[in-house]
Structure 1
Amino acid sequence: MTYPISFRRKVLSVREKENLSIAQVDKHFGVGMASVMRWIKTPDPKTTRNKPATKIDREMLAQDVKNYLDAYQYERAKRLGVSTQGINHALKRLGVTYKKKPASPQSQRRRVAYLPAKN
C-alpha cells in the first residue's frame, strides 16, 4: 500500500516527538514495521527505476510477434531466453495487445496481435 507523503512525515514526527519505538508506531498507526523503517531512511516514495529494462531486445520481440502471432507468452519467453513475466512487461512497453475476433459463426476465437503504428 502506498501512503501519502504527508502521512509518512506525520508518523515520523510523532515518533520523534513522543520518542516511540518502531513497534509502538506500528501499533499506534497500524503501519507495518518494515514501512516505518524504510520511511526513516527515505520518507519520499521512489518514482522511477534506477535502471532500464535491458535483457529483452525490442526489435527481436517485435519480430517474434510478427513471426508467431498466436504464440503464448511462455513460448516467447522460451525462444528469447527470458521469464514469462519479463515478456509480459516487454509486450506492454511495446504496446502489443491481443484482440479476439470471431473466426467463424460457431464463435471460435482466434488471437491476432496488433502492433502500434510507427510514426
Structure 2
Amino acid sequence: MTYSADFRDQVVKNIKQKDMSIRQACVFYNISKTTLQRWLKDPSIKLTRNKPPSKIPDEALLKDIEQYPDDYMYERAQRFNCSKSGIEAALKRLGIYSKPQNQVRDCDG
C-alpha cells in the first residue's frame, strides 16, 4: 500500500514541529516504525523497485526445456550456472509451474 505524498509530508512535518516522538507518531497515525524512519530519511514515493535483470534468458530456458524435458531443476541450474531457486523463479515468470506428467504405459509386453 502506498501512502499519498500529502500524508507523508503531514506526518514528517508534525514530528519535526510538534516534538512528537517516532513511537508516538506511529501509534497516532497507525504506521510502522520502519515506514516512518524511511519517510524521515527520504519522503519521496518510489514508483519502481531496483531489481536486477534476470540472469536466465527466457529463450535459452525454453530451448533447454525442449532439449531436456525430463531434467530436474538442479540439473538446469548447473547448466545455467545459477541456483535451483533461480530456475524456479524463471519458470514461474514464464508460466511453467511443473514438468508435464508422463503418461502411464501399458507394461503387458
Into which bin does the TM-score normalised by the smaller protein fall?
A: 0.5 to 0.7
Matches within 5 A, 1:1-119: 2-5=1-4, 6-50=6-50, 52-93=52-93, 95-98=94-97, 103=103
Report the RMSD for the aligned CA atoms in angstroms. Answer: 3.0
Q: Which protein shows a greater Rg?
A: 2
Question: Please, what TM-score do these two structures have when normalized by structure 2?
Answer: 0.62
Q: Distance in 2 between matches of 1:70 and 1:51?
A: 31
The corresponding residue for 2:107 is none
Question: Please, what TM-score do these two structures have when normalized by structure 1?
Answer: 0.59
Identical aligned residues as a percent:
36
The answer on whether the counterparts of 2:74 and 2:84 sit within 8 Å (CA) in structure 1 is yes
| Pair 21,71 (structure 1): closer, same or farther in 2 beyond 3 Å | farther
Q: Which has the higher strand share?
A: 1
- Unpaired runs of 5+ residues, structure 2, are 105-109
Q: Distance in 1 between matches of 2:64 and 2:102?
A: 24
Q: Which has the higher contact order (CA 8 A, sep 6+)?
A: 2
| Pair 28,87 (structure 1): closer, same or farther in 2 beyond 3 Å | same
- Unpaired runs of 5+ residues, structure 1, are 105-119
